[in-house]
Amino acid sequence: MTHGTTPLKPATDDTVGHRIRWTLSDYRVVVGQEFAHLLRQPANFAWQLGFPVVMVLLFVYVFGSAMDVTGQGAGVGYIGYAMPGLFAMTMAFGFMNTAFAVADMKEKGFIDRVRSMPMASSAIVVGRNLADTIHAAVDLAVLAVIALLIGWSSDGTALETLAAFALLLWLRFSLIWVGIWLGLLVKGTEQAGNLFALAFPFGMISSVFTPPELMPSWLQPVAEWNPVSATATSIRELFGNPVPIGDAWPEVHALAAAIIWPLVITAVFLPLGVRRFRNLGR
Amino acid sequence: MSSSVIEAHGLTRRFGETVALDDFDLEVARGSVHGLLGPNGAGKTTAVRILTTLQRLHTGTAIVAGHDVVREARQVRRRIGLTGQQTAVDDLLSARQNLVYFGRLFRLGKADARKRADELLAQFGLAGSAHRVPKKFSGGMRRRLDLAASMILAPDVLFLDEPTTGLDPAGRREVWEAIAGLTAGGTTVLLTTHYLDEADRLCDRISVVDHGRNVVDDTPDGLKRRMGAERLEVMATAPEALEPITAVVASVATGEPSVEPGTLTVSAFVHDPVDALVTAAAAIREQRLEVADLGLRRPTLDEAFLELVGRETA
């Protein structure tokens, strides 16, 4: 049995320049793997989109026909209110897919294997986020096309519309760090699945589908200060869709809140995730 | 260059109250296949995880392929391969894509990673399945792909944690053959197992691990010899013959013969095996006793292991 003739000396990374170059290469390889998944398993990808699409149809055609958010009668203008909420909700829930995928990698020994390899220790964490953020952008584009088909439209300028989508991805980007950290924290996929029970109220106790003013007073502050609400409210403003506004700070300053919240989440959970990854062997 | 490729001294590792490794020592000779044999929970996996830089150790030192696993983890990682208990391959990628992916993470260039993937697919008998996804593979094939992924850099040391657990007999044989071929290329193999036949068949040396310690370090034959004397075993053809046969065996044995009526077998430890065999054979012929089988038997590794560890393996 032979080992062939391929030069097997791995590249050295003894200088800072080499180290950065190879770290970036590691990120690219990890992101590339995710794309190979998409290309090989388009059906999986379609199923992941199934949930938000079903929610769109349910809210717009089932619940929406009974809701009067514009004061002009049940169902009137609800799509304009609901669509930005559904965009925000898709961004808010999607990070659970990340947690599940990371827990699965850990359970299957995949993380052990890469940890025993000479790659950058941040590559799995950072690469995963980049891949999932790009994935989320694709989700969002598909969802937007569906929204346009059923009669939603943005009344904002092209720049405002783009800014709104950027805010949505910004929220998701920050929540993916939470997903990675949770995925590394839990014992396995079973526990990761249970986390959905936490994510669901996080997405729903917000202004996504219901103005917080209509909620019981003890729940109002939770919904008003929820990062998902900030993003939902500010994209409604940017899209020029109906905005029922309250007087809590994050509602009045929704744009600022939609920028600051993800920044805070990232600042907390990115280091937590990388540290958790490095300390898996403690 | 030292003749040992793994040198570990006084390794200790606790998980809460549990002591997984307790003053564990290990030396593995370059180019050998070394087995860590022990019951579940003996500390085998913890030892492998420490030696592959996956787990921190509390006390002790470990040098793998010339580098300290704590202070020079990165250098160690460039020189080792690991196949863990589960098959850590990507089920959504093809076999070849898997090997290219890992090759790239081992920081081979794109062209080199592809070339190496094809070499390994051929070496592990997977060339015909290069474009299939491992999800559709048999257990043995998955394991071989897993092994191939660990061999990308032709590592100095390959760690295999229970390489055949969960495989059917055919799969085990496939994996055994693949492992046997690895040392030819200069790779040292450290494997853990709780299958005695696996250790007997694959390993040059075996460390028996129990309660976090390396209890005995020996060759498979040496371990069997530790059981002491060989046994003379005579099998009768009919139950009536058991009594005279027992008398014959007793006349050459060092202790009481043990009689198993179920298998019609009489056996006993003997001092001088060849002399005992000849004497017993002569007596059997003289008394015109009919026997189905007559022979000397070395203790099996199972018996040696039970003697050393004193409890049943899982």
Q: CATH no. for residue B261?
A: 3.30.70
pLDDT tens string, chain A, 282 residues long: the values are 444 455 566 566 678 888 888 999 999 999 998 888 888 877 777 777 787 788 788 877 877 666 666 666 666 677 887 888 889 988 988 888 899 989 999 998 889 999 999 888 888 899 999 999 988 998 899 889 988 988 888 888 999 999 999 999 999 999 999 999 999 999 888 888 888 787 788 888 888 777 788 888 888 888 888 999 999 999 999 998 767 667 788 888 888 999 999 999 999 999 999 899 988 887
* β pairing state of B67-68 and B188-193: unpaired
User: Of A226, A224, A216, A217, nearest to A244 (Cα)?
Assistant: A224
Q: What is the ipTM of this complex?
A: 0.82
Residue B314 in any domain: the answer is no
Strands (E), chain B: 4-15, 18-29, 33-37, 59-64, 67-68, 80-83, 157-161, 188-193, 205-210, 213-218, 231-236, 258-260, 265-269, 291-297
B265 and B219 co-located in one domain: no
Chain B residues with CB-CB distance to A11 below 8 A? 107-109
Q: Which residues make Cβ contacts (< 8 Å) with residue A40, sequence separation at least 6?
A: B92, B93, B94, B133
Q: Which residues make Cβ contacts (< 8 Å) with residue A119, sequence separation at least 6?
A: A22, A26, B105, B106, B107
| Tokens standing for residue B134 | 């491992």
Quickly list H helices, B196-241. Answer: 196-202, 220-225
Instruction: Give the pLDDT confidence score for residue B39 in this predicted structure.
Output: 83
CA distance B106 to B108: 6
Task: Provide the residue count of chain B.
Answer: 314
Tell me, yes or no, if the pTM score tops 0.90.
Answer: no
Residue A15 in any domain: the answer is no
B264 and B142 co-located in one domain: no
B96 and B213 co-located in one domain: yes
Task: Give me the number of domains chain A comprises.
Answer: 1
Buried b (16+ CB within 10 A) or exposed e, A203-212: bbbbbbbbbb
Sign of the torsion formed by the C-alpha atoms of A90, A92, A98 and A99: negative
Instruction: Give the pLDDT confidence score for residue A15 in this predicted structure.
Output: 82
Residue A3 in any domain: the answer is no
Radius of gyration of chain A (CA): 21
B122 and B218 co-located in one domain: yes
Phi–psi pair at A206, nearest 5 degrees: -160, 180
A and B: number of Cβ contacts within 8 A: 115
Residue B304 in any domain: the answer is no
Residue B214 in any domain: the answer is yes
Strand ordering across the sheet containing B231-236: B258-260, B265-269, B231-236, B291-297
Residue B312 in any domain: the answer is no
CA distance B102 to B148: 10
Chain A residues with CB-CB distance to B74 below 8 A? 118
Task: Give me the number of domains chain B comprises.
Answer: 2
- Give B 86-145 residues with CB within 8 A of chain A: 86-88, 90, 92-94, 97, 101-102, 104-109, 112, 115-116, 119-120, 123, 133
User: Of A101, A20, A94, nearest to A52 (Cα)?
Assistant: A94
Q: DSSP labels for A175-201?
A: HHHHHHHHHHHSSSHHHHHHTHHHHHH
By the 8 A CB rule, do B12 and B58 touch?
yes
Q: CATH no. for residue B153?
A: 3.40.50.300
Quickly list H helices, B151-289. Answer: 169-180, 196-202, 220-225, 242-252, 273-286
> Residue B22: is its pLDDT beyond 90?
yes
Average pLDDT over residues B126-139: 93
Task: Give the model confidence (pLDDT) of B109-127 as tens digits.
Answer: 999 999 999 999 999 999 9
- Which residues are paired to B27 by β-bridges? B7
Instruction: Give the pLDDT confidence score for residue B205 in this predicted structure.
Output: 95
Instruction: Give the pLDDT confidence score for residue B125 in this predicted structure.
Output: 92
Instruction: Give the pLDDT confidence score for residue B191 in this predicted structure.
Output: 95
B58 and B180 co-located in one domain: yes
Count CB neighbours of A58 within 10 A.
13
Contact A116 B133 (CB under 8 A): no
CA distance B39 to A130: 43
Highest mean pLDDT among A178-182, A276-280, B241-245, B286-290: A178-182
Closest residue in chain A to residue B49, using alpha carbons only: A281
Mean pLDDT of chain B: 89
Residue B60 in any domain: the answer is yes
Would you call B165 an interface residue with chain A, using a CB distance cutoff of 8 Å?
Answer: no
Domain around B259: 231-298
B196 and B251 co-located in one domain: no
B74 and B90 co-located in one domain: yes
Would you call B31 an interface residue with chain A, using a CB distance cutoff of 8 Å?
Answer: no
Quickly list H helices, B72-130. Answer: 73-79, 95-105, 110-123
Instruction: Give the pLDDT confidence score for residue B313 in this predicted structure.
Output: 42
Residue B308 in any domain: the answer is no
Would you call A10 an interface residue with chain B, using a CB distance cutoff of 8 Å?
Answer: yes
State how far the alpha carbon of B291 is from the alpha carbons of A189, B121, B192, B255, B266, in Å. Answer: 60, 53, 41, 22, 11
Residue A16 in any domain: the answer is no
Task: Give the model confidence (pLDDT) of B65-92 as tens digits.
Answer: 999 999 999 899 999 999 988 888 998 8
The residue written with tokens 């999800």 in the block is B135
B130 and B251 co-located in one domain: no
Task: Provide the residue count of chain A.
Answer: 282
Residue B305 in any domain: the answer is no
Domain around A91: 23-281
